[in-house]
Amino acid sequence: MIERYTRPEMAQVWSDEHKLDTWLRVELLVCEGWEREGVISAEDMQKIRGATYDLERARELEREIHHDVISFLRSVQERLGPEGRFLHLGLTSSDMLDTALAVQLQEAGFLIRHVLDTLHETVAQLAVRHRHTLMVGRTHGIHAEPTTFGFKLAMWVDELRRSRARLDAAIDDIAVGAISGAVGTHATVPPVIEEYVCEQLGLRPAPVSTQIIQRDRHAHYVTTLALIGSSLEKMALEMRHLQRTELSEAFEPFAANQQGSSAMPHKRNPEKTERVCGLARVLRGYAATAMEDVALWHERDISHSSAERIILPDATATLHYMLWLFNEVMSGVEVDEERMRANLEMTRGLIYSSRILLALVDKGMDRQAAYKLVQRNAQKVWRNEDQGAGLLAMLKDDPEVMAQITPEELNAIADPRAYLTHIDTAYTRLGLL
């Protein structure tokens, strides 16, 4: 985990102290389960409940024996008396590790969900505020037809809601524990203890486990994070495009003392949204690794463990940071409505070609004939043969067009507000109005 891209609350979830706290919590719950089964006396259990670990001692032992779980258990047992023999009774390392990991992944997922909800609310409010803020829509990077900035954001609202649903499903999928022994057969620990431990932790028992919880669950979780990251990249990329000098329609916030370039004092670069795009690439790499971890030898091997120690903390921290950062961008976004309107008119009426085509068809013209007629005049505008007058002027000077439609009808077509007739339908469907 890189501190630069990790929020404090997420760092706490993956801290060594919290990890070992969670390990100890699992171990104590297992002991409570054994007490319920009459294996551990109430007197011994009372002593076990006071168990603590020594982080530095655990690290010292691990340097010697090269096994983190054994080192942790020894650091705990060294602080107990004879009752320490009941710690880890009937378990294999992965029983404790995978169950504790599920708890941490849930906690990380809930943090991500919270900031995702915050971003959703920020974008939803902007979508409503700018639902009639006219701008040009672009396809292939070329001016197409009028749209609104709010409508663009409404699309993001819908996608953020899908992200939320996917995240909830992934958190639910990972919320399972396994206290089932060396190869998952419960030969050394009865299912009733697994059920008790999972209930106390807010998990479900994995219906079937080997020595580990199967890694398709973890792959589902990480690929979901990567997919949400890709959606954020799409949104951030759009904001980067809108900030380009040639467009200058929307800008990410720029602090009073912020500096954009070491060489050029005038620069105001979209560095926050560029950062979101870059981190999305990292997330997709983690997703590939998580899928590679699904296939293990027989009942288990340990090839997934080293990878997960990196990708699970990093993936959750990275997406959590990306969501927080993009919410900062959208909370402070500067929208230049006048520049949007100026850009809308930049092509001198070419963006109305589709509606003019439809009007000619409605008058009875053959569609292909009407298309060629409008295109012929549009190409003259592209070549500036009209000396800047625009498409409507060219059409009004074309006898073939005037034989089909009046100048007044052309003027009515060339009103960008006419494109907003049904735009509120999306808002109603999203529940934003």
Q: Would you say 237 and 172 are in contact if contact means Cβ atoms under 8 Å apart?
A: no
- Candidates 140, 266, 298, 422; catalytic one: 140
Can you tell me whether residue 124 is helix, strand or coil? helix
| Burial class for 311, CB neighbours closer than 10 Å (0-12, 13-18, 19+) | buried
Backbone angles phi, psi at 287, to 5 degrees: -60, -40
315: number of CA atoms within 13 Å, CB side? 30
C-alpha to C-alpha distance for 57 and 49, rounded to whole angstroms: 20
Backbone angles phi, psi at 257, to 5 degrees: -100, 10
C-alpha to C-alpha distance for 114 and 411, rounded to whole angstroms: 49
- Candidates 15, 41, 261, 303; catalytic one: 261
Q: Would you say 92 and 211 are in contact if contact means Cβ atoms under 8 Å apart?
A: yes
How far from chain centre, in Å, is Cα 109?
11
- Annotated catalytic residue 140: yes
C-alpha to C-alpha distance for 219 and 288, rounded to whole angstroms: 9
The answer to whether the Cα torsion of 113, 118, 120, 121 is positive or negative is positive
C-alpha to C-alpha distance for 345 and 134, rounded to whole angstroms: 11
Give a three-class secondary structure readout of 251-316: ECCCCCCCCCCCCCCCCCCCHHHHHHHHHHHHHHHHHHHHHHCCCCCCCCCCHHHHHHHHHHHHHH
| Burial class for 1, CB neighbours closer than 10 Å (0-12, 13-18, 19+) | middle
Type of residue found at 112: I
- Annotated catalytic residue 163: no
Can you tell me whether residue 176 is helix, strand or coil? strand
Beta strands 250-251 and 334-335 are antiparallel
383 contact partners, CB below 8 Å, separation of at least 6: none
By annotation, the residues acting in catalysis are 140, 261
